[in-house]
Structure 1
């Protein structure tokens, strides 16, 4: 019980840590801009209370504008190449950067996440099945990479490289499958309902790119 509690708490920390870091970065920008514009807003002779509101409002708008123009710049050919160069040579060397980037991508590029395809995995060559998500397809070797989350904490799990004939592709939403994992199996009947199994096997790379 103690081990379960500790691992669950640690899992929650790792989920929230990237977002906490993002809030911290935004707070730094906000405070720096507030300090810069505060003397400028004093020329309007606002009452002290209103002055603070004006500073916060202007600072918030400038922070959003700054992030917008940075995002706009990265969308250009030069900006994209520059960002890739900086990311490959410096940012990826930061321990937390990869976690932060993946966490943000999960919510901002939902249609491109590799966890779109739900499968039942035959790992032990017997009737036992595990609920998993296709993450990659190794075409040269004929293997498919599957992530099998553990319940009730799906941030942990196992990675299996299996042959296609060890998979049953399911036509259900990833979030529905994830609920059965978080619920330690409750509601798993959706995995075995008539029509849940797909007639064809989609390629993992096509799922990620679409």
Structure 2
């Protein structure tokens, strides 16, 4: 029984691994959100403690002072977030925030995880939503991948899954000119990867013809180069003249 569980190809091992990875995946999502909620609640408690003594002056009708204090705290915290967000959008504020983030904030536990989680919910594009053909090595060998992050206007992070198991793969940071963006749904691209390339031709037929044109051009260039390299070198013709011995010349 122990050997069966330890066997990586056995059903109990696969089931246990699936359960463990699923639980960890849920934890990765919930933990940053829980920390974010905890921080917001902590700030609200601080503001309530500061505003509560003034809640009698701000009381409206029969509303309890504690309710008034909580509402005022939420309003103040929302305005504070708005001011910070507005400041960060300005050039000087953005530069200051990048400096603050690189020197101090990135040192805080879970900050990078929380930052990426918030970007997933607020970003204009979600990871894996854009499918690309990447010329990673600059030799016209194309890889089917997904945009995971936009580092700059001309630099992207891409994930290239391996087939038939797309949970494994490689991460590359490439420039825009190395990418061909495909008008393909992520599900279609993933099915092609799981099928170890089957269906790729259909995706290319429905997309920019320049991709196939470039591939054909590269093949033509490679073929002509190969033909040139395989041209036999002109060698002197073989003759049937027998070799003469030095003694016979005498």
Cα distance in 2 between the residues matched to 1:46 and 1:145: 53
Q: Which runs of 5+ in 2 are unaligned?
A: 1-14, 135-142, 151-155, 212-250
Give runs of aligned pairs for residues 1-210 of structure 1, distance below 5 A: 1-43=15-57, 50-111=64-125, 115-119=128-132, 132-135=145-148, 146-148=158-160, 157-159=168-170, 170-172=182-184, 176-177=185-186, 192=202, 196-200=206-210
The residue number in structure 2 matching 1:141 is none
Report the 3-state secondary structure (helix = DSSP H, G, I; strand = E; otherwise coil) of the residue aligned with 1:63.
helix
Secondary structure of 2:208's partner? Answer: coil
Query: Superposition RMSD on alpha carbons, in Å?
Result: 4.5
Question: 1:191, 1:37 → 2: CA distance?
Answer: 65
Change (3 A) 1:191 1:47: farther
User: Does the CA-based 8 Å contact 2:131-2:189 persist in structure 1?
Assistant: no
Q: TM-score, normalised by structure 2?
A: 0.54
**Aligned partners of 2:18, 2:158: CA distance in 1, in Å?**
24
Q: TM-score, normalised by structure 1?
A: 0.63
Q: Within 1, Cα distance between the matches of 2:64 and 2:33? A: 31
Greater gyration radius:
2
C-alpha separation in 1, matches of 2:66 and 2:158: 53
Give the Cα–Cα distance (whole angstroms) in 2 for the partners of residues 91 and 158 of structure 1.
30
CA distance in 1, matches of 2:123, 2:201: 26
Q: Shift in Å at residue 75 of structure 1?
A: 2.5
Equivalent residue of 2:209, what SS?
coil
- Cα deviation per residue 1:45-88 (whole Å; 9 max; x = unaligned)? 66886323222211111110111111122233332222111111
* Bigger relative contact order, structure 1 or 2 (CA pairs below 8 A, ≥6 apart): 1
1:106-165 Cα offsets, whole Å, 9 max, x none, are 222224x564421479xxxxxxxx97414589xxxxxx9641469xxx9x64225599xx
